[in-house]
Amino acid sequence: MPATISALEKLEELYQHVREAEERVAQAEQERARAGRALEAAKGPLRDYYEALGAGEREPDPALEKQLLAEIRKRDTVITTRPQPGGGVAIVDEAAEARVLGAKRVLAEREQAPPRFIVEHRDELVAELTDRSIAARDGLFAAIDEFGKGASAWQSARDAWGRMIPHWGISPSELPHIPVALEDRNLAPMAYGKQRDPARLLPMPSSQAPADLPPPRF
């Protein structure tokens, strides 16, 4: 693999290719639906003409028939009919149908690439994900530490108000409680202390954690 791209980045690139192929399938299916509606609309007047002719409700009109046929032929596409389960037939634009099939074929091919890459590049992915997991753990504990500091400052200000307002005739019931669930002001050490296995603090399978796992920084 090129040194300029990591295994995780390459995997994300493969997933992006899948998403792009899915989008092409959706677009092709939408185009097929539009083409089908357009064909039905174009075929309608000709069908009505033949039906009225067969019912004896009108006389043959070669000029009109020629005009209606020309309206359909000028679409410059291959048209076929397809039997429907409930009876009748559907008018099918073969070009639109072929585009859907081609888009689905590419999607099926691209969907196989990410699982194959995951199997073939396990070592690189595990190493990169381990580094990412350790960084995520340290970032989480740093955020918890900052949250604890902010919560302590909030509570300290509230306590100061609580000591003063009784002297001003203000009820302590007016003081709000901290707007978050705060189990302990020193959350990071508390969470680590409750967890004997440091690998359980990582967002990854404990069986994949390195033996020399560094402790969290807080």
Amino acid at 38: A
Q: Quote the pLDDT of residue 189.
A: 47
Q: Quote the pLDDT of residue 81.
A: 60
Measured CA to CA, the distance from residue 185 to residue 205 in angstroms comes to 29
Q: Quote the pLDDT of residue 208.
A: 67
Tens digit of each residue's pLDDT (9 = 90 or more) over 63-97: 888 887 777 766 656 666 666 676 555 667 888 88
Q: Quote the pLDDT of residue 51.
A: 83
Q: Quote the pLDDT of residue 143.
A: 84
Contacts 24+ apart (CB under 8 A), 134-141: 134/202, 134/213, 134/214, 136/202, 136/203, 137/201, 137/202, 137/203, 137/216, 138/216, 138/217, 141/188, 141/191, 141/192, 141/216, 141/217, 141/218
Torsion of CA 130, 134, 135, 138, to 10 degrees: 170
Tens digit of each residue's pLDDT (9 = 90 or more) over 185-204: 444 444 444 444 565 666 66
Q: Quote the pLDDT of residue 10.
A: 97
Q: Quote the pLDDT of residue 75.
A: 62
- pTM for the predicted model, two decimal places: 0.65
Q: Quote the pLDDT of residue 19.
A: 97
Given a contact cutoff of 8 angstroms between Cβ atoms, the answer to whether 91 and 39 are in contact is yes
Listed residue (100, 140, 147, 127) closest to 210, CA to CA: 127
Given a contact cutoff of 8 angstroms between Cβ atoms, the answer to whether 24 and 106 are in contact is yes
Q: Quote the pLDDT of residue 4.
A: 81
Tell the residue number behind the tokens 């967890």, with chain if given: 195
Measured CA to CA, the distance from residue 111 to residue 25 in angstroms comes to 13
Please identify every stretch of the chain with a pLDDT value under 70, giving residue numbers as ranges: 1-3, 73-84, 86-91, 179-208, 215-218
